[in-house]
Structure 1
């Protein structure tokens, strides 16, 4: 039997990343775990090694630091055994945009977008040349909903969705599967770190249920998986409406409603 590809998971010390680690280990995949807290990952890895027998490497890294991000990029470029990237590391900020510190906003963008982009860029050429592999990018339904008021966080997650869809169109024909996973509120440490009380929210999904649903979408090779959405037809209608506008974008002249005197 062919050896299963190794899975590199960012943000692997807790929450969604740690749960992906558990699920992929139990599927028989070796792991490379990336997060800032090496000790926490090592404790988790010890249990998984004992319970599943898989090989687990620990790669402590702060993905907002250029040299540490570069080390993870190098691992993705050079380790031919890694066939799946889970771009999960992310953060949020409390408060409204006008109250957020510019440097904090920049750090958020670096983690939620730049790191996602650079890691995907590091691994995609190798996977495309091999004609197989997968990239899982964790976005959020907030990226579809500016009404929720999380302007910067939502913008980063909109980026993740667009990037995933674009890469899916480009890499899919080369044999590389790209999945965007869009959770809604999920019970993870991101809330506490951003100064929010998750228990004050009316509807919060447990992280195990979220990841298990996302993996159903993964196995089905869905390009976009939205675990909380009850009716898939709603997403299909959204996509159809978006695509219906595409022919209208290619025009020599401005639309009639924008012409002077119209």
Structure 2
């Protein structure tokens, strides 16, 4: 058993989650891998045990199933060895808003926001009580860009960004680090599952590059890591503009442009 904290990773059977598993195992962390596909989880776990000599537990779980999600929450609450949560599981959905049924919209929101928030809520009190640990939430640049057209998916990722920023403000002083990672298009199965042609995109990042960049931000303790953004000054300007508006929200009267002419 490693002296380092164990890492629980959702959506761990493939793509971003699987690479996170490889990278943390390489660093010597024991793992708890969560995903729906048990065969893939078992194969990945066997390789990681062989390559890195770490302990790997497998939890086959559909996070949209309430009872299954509750079992993962219990593991996070009760297993004091787990000090890092990688909230990676997610889906993009097929088509635009008019193509998606209410049930499909609800399922997408349930996986991308409800499950993510519940898992963070399950582990946060224990981490705060111990004065350490990390929560990493995988968002997307789509949460900043409604122009990209993935309306419900983007809305869920905007939630992930806001939640992560709020949690860092609340939990950071208690010793818990919270990071939001905002990828752009990355070569994963999410494109095939959402029936989108990855080859039609102007640029696609490889998964290894994405995760390695995210971990560089993790090691620097960045709150927001945007691997494809080369000019970090653009994000700093965006954040400064947002924060400059904060005191102007606290007004007793509407802005003059909204008042009826006398």
TM range, smaller chain: over 0.9
Question: What is the TM-score with the length of structure 1 in the denominator?
Answer: 0.98
Aligned to 1:227, the other structure's residue is in SS state coil
1:33 — aligned with what? 33
Measure the CA separation in 1 of the matches of 2:96 and 2:24. Answer: 37
1:46: how far off? 0.4
1:156 — aligned with what? 156
1:72: how far off? 0.2
Q: 1:63-74 counterparts in 2 under 5 A?
A: 63-74=63-74
1:4 — aligned with what? 4
CA RMSD of aligned residues (A): 0.8
Aligned to 1:76, the other structure's residue is in SS state helix
Aligned length: 261
1:94: how far off? 2.3
Aligned to 2:227, the other structure's residue is in SS state coil
Measure the CA separation in 1 of the matches of 2:149 and 2:261. Answer: 37
Q: 1:1-262 counterparts in 2 under 5 A?
A: 3-261=3-261
The CA deviation string for residues 148-204 of structure 1, in whole angstroms up to 9 with x for no partner, is: 111100000000000000000000000000000000000000000011121221100
1:38: how far off? 1.1
Measure the CA separation in 2 of the matches of 1:99 and 1:34. Answer: 30
Q: Which runs of 4+ in 1 moved over 3 A?
A: none
Measure the CA separation in 2 of the matches of 1:205 and 1:87. Answer: 20
Measure the CA separation in 2 of the matches of 1:15 and 1:105. Answer: 23
Aligned to 2:203, the other structure's residue is in SS state coil
Aligned to 1:84, the other structure's residue is in SS state strand
1:3: how far off? 1.0
Question: What is the TM-score with the length of structure 2 in the denominator?
Answer: 0.98
